[in-house]
Amino acid sequence: MFSLLRSSNAFAIDLGTNNTLVYQPSRGIILDEPTSISFDTKRSSFFDSGASSRRMWGKNPQHIEVMHPLSKGAIANLTVAKAYIKEVIARIAQSRFFKPTILVSVPSDLNSMERGAVVEACKDGGAREVMLIKDPFSAALGSMQEIELPKGVLVLDIGAGVSDISLLSCNGIVMSKSLRVAGNDLDEAIIEYFKANKRILISHNDAEHLKKELGNLINREEVTMQINVKNLVSRLPERFVASSHDVHQAIMPLVDKMVSLTHRMLSELPPAFAQDIYDQGILLTGGSSMLLGLDCYLSAKLEIAVNVVDNPLQNIILGAGRAMEDVRYSSLLGA
C-alpha cells in the first residue's frame, strides 16, 4: 500500500469542514477550494462545486441548494459527500481509466462509523484504495516535527468545525481531547450576538469578516467597521457600524472553552512529558488559529509558550503529503 501512495496516481486530501486541499507527490498542493457543492432541485442534479458554489451561498434562488458535505469535521450527508468527492477526483485524476489511491486526513475523534463514511464516500466517488491519517499527525508533520522520536509534541488544531489537542510521541497519540467548537461556531456566535443585542441580522460572510478584522484578543483598542445588515425591527436593509468590542463580547465565551480544553490537557499530562512540553510549548495550527492574538491569549492564560505554525491553512495537507512520501510514517496510515 505504501508504494501505491508514492505513485503518480496517488493523492492526499484534507477534506475540511470549510476547505478541501489536495496534495500530489512531487507536485505539492494542486487544489485548494471551499468544501461546497450546489444542487438544482428542478433537475435533481448536482451542477457546481468549490469556489463558484460557495459564492452562491446566501444568494442562491429557491431551486438551488448550496450544500456543505461536512459538519464538525465529519460527513453530514453521505450522498452529498460522494457527489463532492467525485467532482474533486474528476479534476485531479490523470486518467478516468485509472482510479487513484487516496490518503485522507481526518479529525482524531471520528468514530468507526464516521471513518467508514469517509472511506465509502471516497471509493464511491472514484478512488481505488483509501487510507486515513489522523489530523494531529498531519499537523505535526506539516511543521516538520519528528514525531517518531520518544519526545512529546503537543498539537492544538483549531479548524472550522473541531478543536483538537493531542500529545504525540513515537508515531502514536499518547492522549487527546477534542471539542466540537471551532471557527464556524465563532461566526455563529457573532451572528447571534448582533441579533440579540443590536436587533440586526448579518450574513455568514460578514460574520467571518468581522471575526478576522475585529476579533483581536490582545489589543483592546476599539476599532469599527461598516457593514450592510437587515434591521429586525424595521425589516429593512441598512448600514451598521460594528465595533471590535461587540465582536470580542460575542466570541470570548467560546474562546475560553478552547482555553479550558487546553488547560485540562495540560493538567493531565503524564509527568514524563512535562519537560518536553514546557521546553517547546504548544504547536498551534488550523485556520482558526489565525484569530488575532489567540496565541498570546492562550499563552497568558496557560503560562506556557504557544507557537503558531508557519502555514496554518495548509499545514495539515503538507503533513499528509509528507506522510505519503516518507516511509518512517507508514505506520500512521490506516483504514
Binding-site residues? 208-211
Placement of cell 469578516 in the chain: 209
Placement of cell 489536495 in the chain: 22
Environment class of residue 97 by beta-carbon count within 10 Å: exposed (0-12), middle (13-18) or buried (19+)? exposed
Q: How far is CA 279 from CA 152, 272, 283, 284, 289, in A?
A: 10, 13, 12, 15, 21
Answer for the pair 69, 76: CB distance below 8 angstroms, yes or no. yes
Q: Which residues are annotated as a binding site for ATP?
A: 208-211
Query: Which residue spans within the chain are E strands per DSSP?
Result: 10-15, 19-24, 28-34, 37-40, 45-49, 64-67, 70-71, 74-75, 101-106, 129-134, 153-158, 163-169, 172-179, 200-201, 224-231, 237-243, 282-285, 306-308
Classify the C-alpha dihedral 127-129-134-137 as positive or negative. negative
Residue 296: partners with Cβ closer than 8 Å, 6 or more residues away: 217, 218, 306
State which H helix or E strand residue 288 sits in.
Answer: none
Chain centroid to CA 299: how far? 22
Instruction: Count, in order, helices (H) and strands (E) of the chain.
Output: 11, 18
